[in-house]
Amino acid sequence: MKSTELIYLENFRQTEAEATVVDIVEEDDKTIVYLDGTIFYPQGGGQPYDKGTIESTNGKFIVDEVRYLEGLVKHIGSFEKGQFAKGEKVKCLVDVERRELHSRLHSAGHLVDMAVEESGLEWIPGKGFHFPDGPYVEYEGNADDVQRNELPAKLEEICNKHIAESIEVEVKFVAKDKLKEICKNVPTNIPEGKPTRVVMFGTFGVPCGGTHVENLKDLKHEIIRKIKNDGTSVRVAYDVDR
């Protein structure tokens, strides 16, 4: 089966699109629809999957889960009515409210990265958890008592300053060996099989395949809830106005 075209990588604001059904399979008591291209974001990079519907004149499929495996995107769910045929044209509709919240939280997580860098901290970015339930970002490093008390307000001020500046969010596709020319920190676990993309907040770049806001003003306001040490890591808990 040919790899799924990842439309969301180039246009992460697109929530409606046409596609062609490549296959429909039953797997572990679940129905999986494969398309030639998708705007549905598959869970990964600390961001939850999209939900929504895939529709045609012959059927309506409820997308409950989206996963990426070896170049293919699995749209997992059930038919509310009818059925699709291979080669059939369908319309994809992403749950806009869910997508927008996830995009805001993901962008807000990278804005914390930007604030950490501007603060002169030598923390190395690690994993991010950009889920609505308790979002946070982690860094290799340590925060002393003074930092844990004073940094939340400082980082929050920097984040909201950039939100007020209405910085546009852009994407660049680059070769992996060029990432260090754009990004200060490049993770070692960049997934294979996908185009290498950098999300830019002005001149600040982060390798990322997730969905984001078009402009930082869309975040409205960011809150740094807490900074704590977790073993050899520092965890910065954050949120956005909802």
Indicate whether 111 and 151 sit together in one domain.
Answer: yes
Q: One-letter amino acid identity for 109?
A: G
- Residue 230 forms beta bridges with which residues? 233
Indicate whether 103 and 215 sit together in one domain.
Answer: yes
- Please name which of 236, 224, 238, 214 lies closest in space to residue 100, comparing C-alpha atoms: 214
Indicate whether 47 and 104 sit together in one domain.
Answer: no
Of 56, 75, 94, the residue that ends a domain is: 94
Structure tokens at 37: 């291209």
Indicate whether 88 and 115 sit together in one domain.
Answer: no
Distances in Å between the Cα of 134 and the Cα atoms of 24, 54, 102 are 35, 30, 12
CA distance 79 to 84: 9
Indicate whether 103 and 79 sit together in one domain.
Answer: no
Indicate whether 64 and 88 sit together in one domain.
Answer: yes
Q: How many domains does the chain have?
A: 2
Of 62, 94, 126, the residue that ends a domain is: 94
Give the predicted TM-score (pTM) of the model.
0.94
SS3 74: strand
What CATH number does residue 21 fall under? 2.40.30.130
Output the tens digit of pLDDT for each of the chain's 242 residues.
899 999 999 898 999 999 999 999 998 889 999 999 999 999 999 999 999 999 999 999 999 999 999 999 999 999 999 999 999 999 999 999 999 999 999 999 999 999 999 999 989 999 999 999 999 999 999 999 999 999 999 999 999 999 999 999 999 999 988 999 999 888 877 777 778 999 999 999 999 999 999 999 999 999 999 999 988 999 999 999 99
